[in-house]
Structure 1
Amino acid sequence: MGYVPFTTEGAELFFQLISAWYEQKSLIITSNLEFSQWNRIFGDSRLTAALVDRVIHHAHILNFTGDSFRITHALSRNN
């Protein structure tokens, strides 16, 4: 998530899905944005806070840093 913002309706539907799955199902979300920037995706600070609260509760958060493997690999092929 993070490349294209959700519409208001899309953000609300996504929140409903997350709420329905909360503590019931496993979920994997990848994003190029930190949680503090998710409001740019969902547009509503209350909805975003509630969504992040549910997503991070019981979560295993993996933060990857460094150069992109795909960019590094593509650049090595061009040399």
Structure 2
Amino acid sequence: LLILDELGYIPLHKAGAELLFQVISLCYEGKSIIITTNLSFSQWNHVFVDQILTEAVIDRLIHHSQLLIFNGESFRYKESLLKN
């Protein structure tokens, strides 16, 4: 199981994006991957920098996948309001 939490919080350098693509490719169709992000797929080009690389990553991730989309306020934000 590969878990990528908060993908896109910090943009990747070209070398980092290429390495992450290799890891995702190695896991593709053989391992489970969980990704959390606040970004829609259309914004992932800002993370992976290269449009072709971004499309290849998304292609591998959405094939055989289940997308869970949560709308609403952040859990952390709600929790911080309760403390005040």
TM-score by structure 1 length?
0.94
Distance in 2, Cα, partners of 1:59 & 1:52: 11
Give the CA RMSD over aligned residues: 0.8
State which of 63, 66, 70 in structure 1 corresponds to 2:76.
Answer: 70
Cα offset, 1:17, TM superposition: 0.8
Q: AA paired with 1:25?
A: K
Deviation >3 Å, runs of 4+? none
3-state SS in 2 of match to 1:28? strand
Question: How big is the shift at 1:67?
Answer: 1.0
Equivalent position amino acid for 1:55 in 2: L
Aligned counterpart in structure 1 of residue 30 of structure 2, from 6, 16, 24: 24
Q: 1:21 offset after TM fit, Å?
A: 1.1
Q: Distance in 1 between matches of 2:16 and 2:75?
A: 31
Whichever structure has more helix as a proportion of its residues is 1
Task: Flag the structure with larger Rg.
Answer: 1
| Match among 46, 50, 63 for residue 57 of structure 1 | 63
Q: What TM-score results when the alignment is normalised by the length of structure 2? A: 0.88
How many corresponding residue pairs? 78
Q: Name the % identity.
A: 55
The match for 1:35 among 31, 38, 41 is 41
Q: Give the structure 1 partner of residue 3 of structure 2.
A: none
Question: CA offset at residue 58 of structure 1?
Answer: 0.6
